[in-house]
Amino acid sequence: MSRTVYFDYNATTPLDADVRAAMLPFLDEFWGNPSSVHHVGRKARALLDDARDRAAKFLGAKPSEIIFTSGGTEANNLAIFGTARALKGKGKHLITSAVEHDAVLQSFDYLEKKEGFAVTRLPVNSAGRVAPDDLLKAIRADTILVSIMAANNEIGTIQPVAELGAICRERGIVFQSDAVQWFGKEPFENISQFNADLVSICAHKFHGPKGAGLLYIKSPLHPDPILFGGGHENERRAGTENLPAIIGLVAALEKCVKPPVFSKSKLQEHLLKLAAAVEKIDGCEIVSPRENCLSNTLSFVVRGSDGIALMAGLDVEGICVSSGSACSAGSLEPSHVILAIGKKDLANSLVRFSLGRDSTAAEVDFIISVLPEVIRRVQLAGKPASRL
């Protein structure tokens, strides 16, 4: 393979060199357990507290509102399970959307099937966007939690979370937003811009380490823990804190979020060129919305093919892309996002280009040069012999 073109930044990003440098002392010099009472542990505790203070200052939150987790999946699970169980005495109706990440959807599925909650899954329009009016109509007297993502990982749709959150706040309903794909890509001022009581963040989506995330929990909300075994994280998340990863998370926040490390001006130029090329290929249809979309994401479906074959064909050329969520890699299930936007017959043929800091015009040109032939081969392979 002569070259590698990595256009899968929504799946993960390479660790930033400065972030790595910030982490290194915590893999060697500062190795104590922050819960230990001796001086080695106390030093680790002081550094953990400092990291929490830095994260809170950056987000515009209180230190007590920051819970460090192992990533976005755990943050979403803690937000949803913890809040639903803590508030079930007030009601057992929950609302989410049809296009959430599986970490959210499967949490709601479990609560519905195993714990007696009622779940309303809001539809989306052809751009994958939730209508505030649909949320208003879905709210009931026993609604206790609404969860809508800030930006979609598969097609890039940006949701009107501030408006949705305002609807919930006016009615005293807890609002959670999975903002994993937002940070580092869209403008960020402070955590209040989401109008959310709970916000999930994941470090490796913006050049931080894997295994690190956080959940913002607006005071005085106190979700039930989902992990047990110790009083860590203000008794909200048991388990010894991963101090090197936490330091990396905070360093990545401070370096890569303000301004966003994914440069909108640079990436939009690349995406416009890619989009123009995709539109010229027979059978291709772009499903990422033209407006209110992540500036690094271009997703399309290909009639007469499937996403796994397309990814394999591109990988042969050294091109790394995705067919929907990286967390569902290898799955033969159709994309639930494509199903939700009304393209049932094309839900197995999604291709996602997600560009990043290191993407170049030369890489875009290379993809444009090989993409038509890759698609042609896959479409040809999928035709019945009688039609050849």
Q: Provide CB contacts within 8 A for 371, sequence distance 6+.
A: 277, 278, 281, 314
pLDDT in tens, the chain (388 residues): 468 999 999 999 999 999 999 999 999 999 988 988 899 999 999 999 999 999 999 999 999 999 999 999 999 999 999 999 999 999 999 999 999 999 999 999 999 999 999 999 999 999 999 999 999 999 999 999 999 999 999 999 999 999 999 999 999 999 999 999 999 999 999 999 999 999 999 999 999 999 999 999 999 999 999 889 887 888 788 788 999 999 999 999 999 999 999 999 999 999 999 999 999 999 999 999 999 999 999 999 999 998 889 999 999 999 999 986 555 555 567 899 999 999 999 999 999 999 999 999 999 999 999 999 999 999 888 664 334 3
Q: Which residues are known to be catalytic?
A: 327
Cα distance between residue 45 and residue 319, in whole Å: 44
Cα distance between residue 321 and residue 388, in whole Å: 29
Cα distance between residue 224 and residue 115, in whole Å: 15
Count up the domains in the chain and report the number. Answer: 2
- Residue 173 sits in a domain whose CATH number is 3.40.640.10
- Residue 356 sits in a domain whose CATH number is 3.90.1150.10
Q: Are 152 and 337 in contact (CB under 8 A)?
A: yes
Considering the domain architecture, whether residues 90 and 227 belong to the same structural domain is answered as yes
Residue 332's pLDDT is: 62
Of 214, 231, 256, which closes a domain? 256
Considering the domain architecture, whether residues 42 and 165 belong to the same structural domain is answered as yes
- 3-state SS of 173-200 is CEEEEECCCCCCCCCCCCHHHHCCCEEE
Q: Are 65 and 90 in contact (CB under 8 A)?
A: no
Longest dimension (CA), the chain: 77
Q: Are 196 and 161 in contact (CB under 8 A)?
A: yes
Q: Provide CB contacts within 8 A for 126, sequence distance 6+.
A: 341, 342
Q: Are 241 and 68 in contact (CB under 8 A)?
A: yes
Cα distance between residue 22 and residue 249, in whole Å: 10
Residue 383's pLDDT is: 62
Of 210, 241, 256, which closes a domain? 256
Cα distance between residue 309 and residue 378, in whole Å: 7
Domain holding 208, by residue range, is 17-256
Structure letter (DSSP) for residue 292: S
Q: Which tokens hold the place of 182?
A: 């937002």
User: What is the per-residue DSSP string for 46-70?
Assistant: HHHHHHHHHHHHHHTS-GGGEEEES
Considering the domain architecture, whether residues 308 and 326 belong to the same structural domain is answered as yes
Considering the domain architecture, whether residues 302 and 290 belong to the same structural domain is answered as yes
CA distances from 273 to 267, 341, 363 (A): 10, 24, 11
pTM, 2 dp = 0.94
CA distances from 43 to 26, 35, 37, 250, 271 (A): 11, 10, 10, 18, 47
Considering the domain architecture, whether residues 134 and 178 belong to the same structural domain is answered as yes
Considering the domain architecture, whether residues 22 and 126 belong to the same structural domain is answered as yes
Q: Are 63 and 53 in contact (CB under 8 A)?
A: yes
Report the Cα 60 to chain-centroid distance in Å. 21
Q: Which residues are registered as beta bridge partners of 147?
A: 176
Cα distance between residue 217 and residue 79, in whole Å: 8
Of 234, 256, 278, which closes a domain? 256
Best CA proximity match to 83, nearest among 102, 120, 52, 108 = 108
How many residues in total does the chain contain? Answer: 388
Matching residue, tokens 């560009």: 355
Instruction: State the virtual CA torsion across 300, 305, 311, 316 in degrees, nearest 10.
Output: -130
Q: Are 75 and 216 in contact (CB under 8 A)?
A: no
Q: Which tokens hold the place of 204?
A: 């490796």
Residue 1's pLDDT is: 47
Considering the domain architecture, whether residues 32 and 106 belong to the same structural domain is answered as yes
Considering the domain architecture, whether residues 320 and 265 belong to the same structural domain is answered as yes
